[in-house]
Amino acid sequence: MKAIIITGTPGTGKTVLAKALAEKLSYSCVDVNKIIAKYHISEGYDEKRKTKIIDTKKLSKSLIKEISSLKKTKVEGIIIDSHLSHYLPKKYADLCIVAKCDLKTLKKRLKKKKYHKDKIRENLDAEIFDVCLEEAKQGGHKITIIDTTKGIQINRVIKKLNL
Ligand SMILES: Nc1ncnc2c1ncn2[C@@H]1O[C@H](COP(=O)(O)OP(=O)(O)OP(=O)(O)O)[C@@H](O)[C@H]1O
Ligand SMILES: [Mg+2]
């Protein structure tokens, strides 16, 4: 069973990409929010940053548990879509996709999602500094960058992934 993780700044198109890949490859998508609820990982809500407080070590442990139980099923592959997915130790991920898009597009997308302007700024900065990409690199993941600015052509993406 292959495990693909998709990370990237919020709004860069992880979920759109995950769904398209899952459909084309007949993989299952792992819903990280469900895992956070199932394993009681959230340690409260950060009001200022408008985000759940997540212990990334606990999340990784829970993801490992999910992966091992899915390995016992017939599922051919799984896709884990979350801006925290790259915290999974590299030995559990065959590939780490980092979704990216240009800043103007990202700003538009986050505005459409009705994010507060401070949150938009925070995410634009995260994209400028390539926080997810740099952390994924530090984790030693095998990385493929997919730019979603102009949309994705799923067949081209799959070719690039070289699975
Ligand atoms: N490939 C694409 N083609 C066209 N529009 C896209 C594409 N990917 C993303 N978008 C646009 O960007 C929005 C955000 O995408 P998406 O929800 O997939 O991002 P995300 O990285 O999963 O964000 P979050 O971290 O908040 O879950 C989508 O609602 C869509 O409008
Ligand atoms: Mg998403």
Which of 5, 16, 104, 146 has the most ligand 1 atoms within 8 A of CB, as the residue to mutate? 16
Q: Is residue 162 part of a domain?
A: no
Q: What is the CATH number of the domain that holds 66?
A: 3.40.50.300
Q: Find the residues whose C-beta lies inside 6 A of ligand 1.
A: 8, 10-16, 83, 99, 109, 148, 151-152
Could you say which ligand is closest to the alpha carbon of residue 17? 1
Note the pLDDT tens digit of each residue in 20-60.
Answer: 999 999 999 998 989 999 999 999 999 888 889 999 999 99
Here the contacts of 138-143 (C-beta below 8 Å, separation 24 or greater) are 139/86, 139/87, 139/88, 139/89, 139/90, 139/96, 140/90, 141/5, 141/86, 141/90, 141/93, 141/95, 141/96, 142/90, 142/93, 142/94, 142/95, 142/96, 143/95, 143/96, 143/97, 143/98
The domain total for the chain is: 1
Domain that holds residue 57: 2-157
Cα–Cα distance for residue pair 77/66, rounded to 1 Å: 13
Q: Say what the pTM is.
A: 0.96
